[in-house]
Amino acid sequence: GAVVSQHPSRVICKSGTSVKIECRSLDFQATTMFWYRQFPKKSLMLMATSNEGSKATYEQGVEKDKFLINHASLTLSTLTVTSAHPEDSSFYICSAPDRDRGNYGYTFGSGTRLTVV
Amino acid sequence: AQSVSQHNHHVILSEAASLELGCNYSYGGTVNLFWYVQYPGQHLQLLLKYFSGDPLVKGIKGFEAEFIKSKFSFNLRKPSVQWSDTAEYFCAVNALTGTASKLTFGTGTRLQVTL
């Protein structure tokens, strides 16, 4: 089946630095990628939707300049957390829709645990 | 806008007990419905999904869910849980708009199965 490869799985960075998270679709083309953030004991909150070749669409309350999203090709979308702060520590997950027998299924990356110290 | 509510936040069951996790959504149009599971330390995995047809959907590991349109519900069930079912369960919905649209997740239900 469709696979989304997400890297890194864990990253620890110093406050003020930037971190890039990559999501690659394997064996299928992902023209759209959804980026979620999962808080402890809470649900997945959609941060933004990236579309290949166009600007990402951010959900209300998500800082565009802080969470830079690039969808450079049909198989790669990246999320860069700029000038990271401890409050950005979280679990970030990407997801790509994939046609499944004429309907849309969703394939999730394995997630990235970001810790900002 | 669509929304999803899961009524049970934390459920504790003994092995072999029956399970039912509630999920209600709000959206007036046609939707796709999903249940995902997240085992400790692992990523989200699809348990089952409903797109159309038979409202009783069977998924992996003995789980099933029933779509009741009149109640806007998609409850997850399993007749006899196992210790290995201990995990976080998320209900999700997306509105059918003709193009790929975002999934909206419920807050999740943590299931703890005791021996």
pLDDT in tens, B41-81: 787 888 999 988 999 999 999 999 999 999 999 999 999 99
pLDDT > 50? residue A101: no
Write out the two tokens for B101.
């649209």
Distance CA A100, CA A97 (A): 9
Interface contact B43-A111, CB threshold 8 A: yes
Select the residue of B43, B102, B110 nearest A110 (Cβ to Cβ).
B43
Predicted pLDDT of residue A29: 86
Per-residue pLDDT band at A117 (split at 50, 70, 90): very high
Interface membership of A46 toward B (CB under 8 Å): yes
Residue type, B105: F
Residue whose C-alpha is closest to residue A114's, from A21, A4, A35: A21
B29 Rama sector, left if φ>0, alpha if ψ -120 to 50, beta otherwise:
beta
Interface membership of B67 toward A (CB under 8 Å): no
Task: Using a pLDDT cut of 70, give the percent of chain B over it.
Answer: 96
Select the residue of A31, A43, A104 nearest B108 (Cβ to Cβ).
A43
List CB contacts of A113: < 8 A, sequence separation 6 or more.
A9, A10, A11, A91
Residues of A in contact with B36 (CB under 8 A): 108
